[in-house]
Structure 1
């Protein structure tokens, strides 16, 4: 019965994680008007699920870190009550945040829950040094790094685009160009003028392409190319989130051999997908529309930076928050454009500050109740 309760607690945590986090990877697609909400959440669901499955092979270090190993004595890790307290404490925190529409970090919630149950269980024997170095430092540094990197990358992209003269109407055109041909024959004293067709590639405005190829050409303009890159970058962010978050939840299951890693990853992936499909809209709208207005280029830059940072952190076992990195990247763009809503950003930062203590208190109370009964 206790193992079933642990499995259900982990699935509840995965569900709330999906509800609060799944849309974050595609928020800029929706916010920039590149696509609608349904298509955005569908793309997020598919790519997040893929990242969760990839975590089986790429994110073993995170599973170990979030089992609590090294923070508390090994005999406590083997107690299912400890893992249940962590899962429920974090899940309740994320559930409340989702209901009020605040994009908080499941990673931060798990760290708080680990701290709350750990202190109740072992008191001063809790490894505070590892908590700070392995968990808290990446959570603090990552959003600042994301904001700075996205600001610099966007300014670089903008400068390169202007230097190359690329606009929304710029098109890469491939087709049979009509080239004038002049043939002369001195003996018969006549001149023949005609045209020949040659396969060519040009970068020019779409209007010029129509004239050059007499309307018959294959081409893709810069806006369509950017939208494609934007979708790809959103997929990278969602994939990275699945890769980074799934092992953290599975770590609560495998330490007591409740479930094999592979089956744990699959169960968590399914619960996350369901949570995102059913309850992601409120948080998604805040991320997409309320931090800062953005266009496709700005959204692409924010997603690219987020995806690269989170993927790198996952492979190296660093427990960064996709939420913190994503919000930091979007805020970096808002800083450049000077359109960021500072009141919304302030409220998000406040919710981040409250996440750890709320999760710690919830987890500590649940573990204390287990000890009583």
Structure 2
């Protein structure tokens, strides 16, 4: 019974992870107007799933890390109650954040779950030094690195754009506008009598203006080349997220001896995909639209930096947060353009600060209850 509960709870965590995280890889595609929401989430779902499957071959060290190995005694790791409490603490925390549209870190939630259950289980025997060096430091440093890297990359790309003679081009609508003429005699139910037209110039909000690139790069149309590169970079970010996050979740299933790691990853990959397809929009709006307005080039730069950092971390077994890296990269762009919404950033950072203690508290309560029942 406890093993069935463990599998269900970890799948719930994977579902919540997909709902909160899946769209972050393609947020700049949607935010910059490169594509619509539906196409963006479908691209994210496909590439994230491929990353999850690839994790079977490349990310075994992360499976070991998030099983709790080294943080608590090995005997505790073999108990399903410990894994259930971690997964449920993290899953509830991520699910609640998703409902209010806050992009938090599943990695951070898992660390909180490990900490809460571990403290209740072993007290001072918990390995605090390993927690700091292996988990906490990468989570703190990754958004700072992403912010600086995206700022530097964007300034460099902007210089290259100018050097190759690729210029920004704004569009403004000038032409016939057709409007109905309403019969004002009927005050209760006015009816349009006819249609008239006149020449007009439409001026809209800044974020609704279309900014494109005019010129060529190495003989190729700059705008088309950028759009293709942007889609590829978004795919890289989503692929890297699946590669980095799936092993963290499947590490909680290793106590189920009858379930192989490979099949565990496949099951969680499907759960993540479903969560993203059904519940990603609110968090997606926050990351893509509310942190800072972006054009095509800025979105591409943020995605490129995020993909490079998260993929590198996955290969080296560092449990960085795709959320922290992605938000840091987008904020870096906004810092250069001076268009970041500081209030939104402040709320996101506050949610990050609260993630670990909330997950730790829920996990500690669940572990205490399970220890009493079982």
| CA distance in 1: counterparts of 2:360 and 2:78, whole angstroms | 20
Whole-Å separation in 1 of the counterparts to 2:153 and 2:216: 24
Aligned position for 1:63: 63
Q: Indicate whether 1:87 and 2:132 are aligned.
A: no
Instruction: Answer whether contact 1:66 1:252 (CA < 8 A) is retained.
Output: yes
Q: 1:199 — aligned with what?
A: none
Instruction: Give the 3-state SS of the residue equivalent to 2:16 in structure 1.
Output: helix
**TM-score, normalising length: structure 1:** 0.87
Deviation at 1:171, TM superposition (A): 3.7
Structure 1 regions of 5+ residues with no counterpart? 173-201, 204-219
The CA distance in 1 between the partners of 2:17 and 2:59, in whole Å, is 18
- Listed as ranges, the matches of 1:286-325 within 5 Å are 286-325=286-325
Distance in 2, Cα, partners of 1:258 & 1:103: 34
Runs of 4+ residues over 6 Å off in structure 1: none
Residues in 1 aligned to 2:87 and 2:63: alpha-carbon distance in whole angstroms: 14
Distance in 1, matches of 2:342 and 2:21, equals 22
Counterpart of 2:46 in structure 1 is 46
Which residue does the alignment assign to 1:108? 108
Aligned to 1:10: 10
Q: Conserved in 2, the CA contact under 8 Å of 1:89 and 1:363?
A: yes
The answer for the alignment partner of 1:169 in structure 2 is: 214
Structure 1 residue aligned with 2:361? 361
Q: CA RMSD in A?
A: 0.9
Shift of 1:166: 1.8
CA–CA distance in 2 between the matches of 1:24 and 1:112?
22
Instruction: Note closer, same or farther for the CA distance 1:112–1:258 as it changes in structure 2 (3 Å cut).
Output: farther
In the alignment of these two chains, the number of paired residues is: 328
**Greater CA radius of gyration, 1 or 2?**
1
CA distance in 2, matches of 1:319, 1:137: 10
TM-fit CA distance, 1:163: 1.4
> Which residue does the alignment assign to 1:131?
131
Partner of 1:192: none
Q: Any unmatched runs of 5+ in structure 2?
A: 168-212
Quote how far apart the aligned CAs of 1:255 are. Answer: 3.5
Is the CA contact 1:3–1:258 (under 8 Å) kept in the aligned structure 2? no
Q: Distance in 2 between matches of 1:369 and 1:120?
A: 11
Q: Within 1, Cα distance between the matches of 2:255 and 2:336?
A: 45
Distance (whole Å) between structure 2 residues aligned to residue 171 and residue 299 of structure 1: 19
Distance, in Å, in 2 between the alignment partners of 1:15 and 1:258 is 22
Q: State the distance in 2 between where 1:249 and 1:341 align.
A: 33
In structure 1, how many angstroms separate the alpha carbons of the residues matched to 2:338 and 2:215?
27
TM-score by length of structure 2 reads: 0.87
Which residue does the alignment assign to 1:177?
Answer: none
Confirm whether residue 147 of structure 1 aligns to residue 139 of structure 2. no
Q: Cα distance, 1:139 vs. partner?
A: 0.1
